[in-house]
Structure 1
Amino acid sequence: MPPHLKKQHLGTVLIATPETKLVLRIQPSESGDSNEALVNACVFLNIPLELLSEISKSLHPLDLLSLLRTCKFFRNILRDKGFARPIWRVSMHLATKLPPAPDVFPYPRLAVILFETSQCMLCTVSIPASTITDFELRIRSCSRCRQTHTASFVESFAPKVEGYPFYDLIPSTVPSGRIPGSYLVADLKAVKATIADAGFAGTRLEEFVSKRKLEMAELRRFASVCRAWEATTEIERKAKDEITKADRNTYIRRKLLSLGWGDVLAVMKPPNSALDRLPLVNIAQPVTQSVWTEICPKLEEFMARERTEERKRHQEALRKQAAKRMAKGKKALQKLAQQNKKGKTSS
């Protein structure tokens, strides 16, 4: 057990809590059964930290994020660098096969970037199309927040901190040609404050800069690996979505066929029919019995409309064919009449 985590005796119940972080008071039940009182509160709070650690390692990073957000106890536990970092490292490796993240890239933030892909981390706006992930900056942000919270630079005009290029000290994207680099304004302010508060100077400042330079280089290498993983994952996701869509389409067609819509399905052949383009069908979501029960009435309404439209189209096609035959017959009669007229004239 980490030295800064201890057992506190509250009433008759022992609860593992981070020191001075959370005091949870559980009163015994009316029957005097402290275990019953604990279960009524939260049974997980009485799990030994060693066991909690082993259980947490098998969870997906998204599950760890959900657990972290449940209460102060789990937030303090799962944000503690000494205790939680091995948990996050194992969980992240099982989910992504990524190498260990550098110390300057907190695992909870990495999990948010990798798996909660629809939300800006700075303003919580959920617009997937407008958010951009910057692994070097360790954020995913919308266009408005990028303008507000980040700044651009080119290497020849990069600001300096105590005479050192700032991009050796804080997370930043590297400028390439005409594409400028960028950094978070808050990161630059934070490193300046750190140097000022610690009073770094001379050799100590050089040591601090050397350490930060190595950390930033490691962060950029890890960011490159993350981008490659993200691209590969996106390709795999699209392939799985196509398979799921095909399975959904097949399932729905089989169900509609059993309901007597075979005549309409014979006309609406995949993959580019109106049925295949229907949002209820063309979606990467497996069809369970409950889902089918929900979408079946809407699909039958659609099929009924298509059957009516198909009959109209068929009748219109028959009418046009009849009109063509009549026109053709009329021309044949006119031609025959002309031939008869010529025969009488010649005789």
Structure 2
Amino acid sequence: MGTFWRSDHCQDCGKSADIPVDWDLRVRYCSECELTNTTKFDSDAPPRLVCDPSVDIRKLIAIRPPTFNPAFVNADLIAVTDAYEAMNAQERPAYQDGRHRMLIDTRIHARECREWAARLAQFKRAAVKAGRKQAIEDKLIALGWSEDSAKLYIADYGRRSRFSYREFVDKCEPLTDAEWAEIQPDLQELMATTRADAASQAAKAVLLADRTQAI
């Protein structure tokens, strides 16, 4: 399964499009190759071996469960069918039992991989957002807005302007030069407003304190 983490290409055609892994079927196919390499079926009427209709294929090969649209990999069914046909009647029960035990482990492994992949994706999103926030803060510091940027994010004063600073910072994508160039004028205007508001509040606090002492 380690190969899935070294490449995001379709394992059949080689197309790269950040294709997710199908952990239940243990494959990575693009949408086109999935159509030609897998077969979907009705979970209420699962396919059976052609050579032995009494055998439900779900007991022999990995399948995608109903939760994720039931399907199987065509090559898996062909391989199992060939092996099954080559056996005599006495060998088949043991073969089915072995495949069944293996599939239990496969399903457990698929669940663990899916959970791990979700944690990894969450970690990557957090890293992208943290990198974006740091890039914005670095640019604002360079423009002389170091203290104001932190205050603005916490209070989200941007809700009163043409855009939300917090939403701008929290987007899950790297900050681009084009994006920064487009937003910088509005952002600097917002920063100036934030600084003026803070100064006004500070002045009011001092005035109130002086009046309190005078009384």
The 1:299–1:155 alpha-carbon spacing in structure 2 relative to 1, beyond 3 Å, is: closer
| Aligned with residue 33 of structure 2, among 123, 129, 145 | 145
Deviation at 1:237, TM superposition (A): 2.1
Report the residue type matching 1:145 in the other structure. Answer: C
Taking only the aligned residue pairs, the percentage that are identical comes to 19
Q: CA shift at 1:224, angstroms?
A: 0.8
Query: 1: CA distance between counterparts of 2:119 and 2:44?
Result: 34
**Do residues 211 (structure 1) and 98 (structure 2) align?**
yes
- Cα drift, residue 210 of structure 1: 0.7
Change (3 A) 1:228 1:186: same
1:252 to 139, 157, 160: 139
Given the two structures, how large is their TM-score scaled by the length of structure 2?
0.64
SS in 1 for 2:117: helix
How large is the Cα RMSD of the aligned pairs?
3.4
Residue of 212, 235, 240 corresponding to 2:122? 235
More strand as a share of residues: 1
Structure 1-normalised TM-score? 0.42
- Alpha-carbon spacing, 1:224–1:148, altered in 2? closer, same or farther (3 Å): same
Q: Contact 2:61–2:80 (CA<8 Å) still a contact in 1?
A: yes
Query: Which segments of 5 or more consecutive residues in structure 1 lack a partner in the other structure?
Result: 1-109, 286-294, 311-347
Taking the TM superposition and a 5 Å limit, the aligned residue runs for 1:246-325 are 246-257=133-144, 283=174, 302=181, 306=185
1:241 and 1:284 in contact (8 A); partners too: no
Between the two structures, name the one with larger relative contact order (CA 8 Å, sep ≥ 6): 2
**Residue number in structure 1 paired with 2:46:** 158
Judge conservation of contact 1:119–1:125 (CA < 8 Å) in 2. yes
Q: Structure 1's 201 and 115: CA in aligned 2 closer, same or farther, altered over 3 A?
A: same
Change (3 A) 1:149 1:299: closer
- In structure 2, C-alpha distance between the alignment counterparts of 1:180 and 1:168, rounded to whole Å: 18
Check if 1:175 corresponds to 2:66. Answer: yes
Amino acid in structure 1 at the alignment position of 2:88:
A
d(CA) in 1 for partners of 2:116, 2:125: 14
Give, in angstroms, the shift of residue 155 of structure 1: 3.3
Question: Moved runs in structure 1, 4+ residues, more than 3 A?
Answer: 269-278
Partner SS for 2:66? coil
Alignment match of 2:14 (pick from 124, 149, 158) = 124
TM-superposed deviation, 1:299: 9.2
How many angstroms apart in 2 are the aligned matches of 1:284 and 1:120?
A: 29
Q: Are the equivalent residues in 2 in contact too, given 1:242–1:284 (CA < 8 A)?
A: no
Secondary structure in structure 2 of the residue aligned to 1:151: strand
From the superposition, tell whether residues 114 and 284 of structure 1 become closer, same or farther in structure 2 (CA, over 3 Å).
farther
Query: Structure 1, residues 295-330: CA drift from partner, whole Å, max 9, x if none?
Result: 6xx799x38x949x97xxxxxxxxxxxxxxxxxxxx
Q: Distance in 2 between matches of 1:151 and 1:299?
A: 44
Q: CA deviation at 1:218?
A: 0.8
